């Protein structure tokens, strides 16, 4: 004699699957927003670091060439004083393709208006001081 067991169906209902997908979608939307903001903040920090390197290279150039306050320099003048591993040292441009320079001694390089506007939502004007 064969005894039949009642078949028990295991699995998830459509509603349960939809709830899980909705939760995953919400979490990914939050994470994506945070990743994009962190990327822009990193770009702002990189640009500020490039400006600081250019400022130091300009000072080294001025000391070596015996320049005085107010003298102008081009990127090609300060390029030998930059580390060659940096993309900025080769091209003379920031992450958004904006050229650095010309430079004036004791005033230093300035962040371009395009770059400032692109990163102003993650880096306020005080972040760029004294390069704005």
CB 96 within 8 A of CB 14: no
Residue 39 dihedral angles phi and psi, to the nearest 5°: -65, -45
* Residue pLDDT, tens place only, 1-50: 666 666 667 788 999 999 999 999 999 999 998 999 999 999 999 999 99
Do 42 and 36 meet the contact criterion of CB atoms below 8 Å apart? no
Q: Tokens 């927003």 sit at which residue?
A: 33
Taking 3-state DSSP, the helix, strand and coil percentages for the chain, each rounded to the nearest 5, stand at 55, 5, 40
In a domain, residue 3? The reply is no
Residue 108 lies in a domain: yes
Residue 5: C-alpha distances to residues 2, 8, 49, 58, 124 (Å): 10, 9, 72, 86, 70
Domain membership flag for residue 43: yes
Report yes or no on 6 lying in a domain. Answer: no
Residue 9 resides in a domain: no
**pLDDT tens, position by position, 56-114:** 999 999 999 998 888 899 888 999 999 888 888 888 889 898 988 778 888 878 889 99
Domain range for residue 38? 18-128
> What is the total count of domains within the chain?
1
Tell me if 48 is assigned to some domain: yes
Q: Answer for the pair 92, 79: CB distance below 8 angstroms, yes or no.
A: yes
Contact 112, 98 (CB under 8 A): yes
Examine residue 88 and state whether it is found in any structural domain, yes or no: yes
Bridge partner residues of 72 (DSSP): 104
User: Does some domain include residue 4?
Assistant: no
Answer whether residue 55 shows pLDDT above 70. yes
């Amino acid at each position: 004699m064969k005894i039949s067991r009642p078949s028990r169906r295991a699995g998830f209902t459509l509603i349960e699957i939809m709830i899980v997908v909705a939760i995953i979608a919400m979490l990914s939307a939050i994470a994506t927003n945070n990743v994009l903001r962190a990327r822009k903040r990193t770009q702002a920090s990189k640009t500020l670091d490039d400006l600081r390197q250019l400022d130091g290279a300009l000072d080294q150039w001025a000391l070596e060439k015996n320049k005085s306050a107010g003298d102008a320099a081009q990127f090609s003048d300060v390029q030998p004083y930059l580390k060659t591993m940096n993309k900025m040292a080769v091209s003379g441009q920031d992450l958004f393709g904006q050229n650095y320079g010309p430079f004036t001694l004791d005033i230093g390089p300035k962040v371009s208006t395009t770059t400032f506007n692109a990163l102003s939502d993650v880096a306020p004007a005080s972040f760029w001081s004294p390069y704005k």
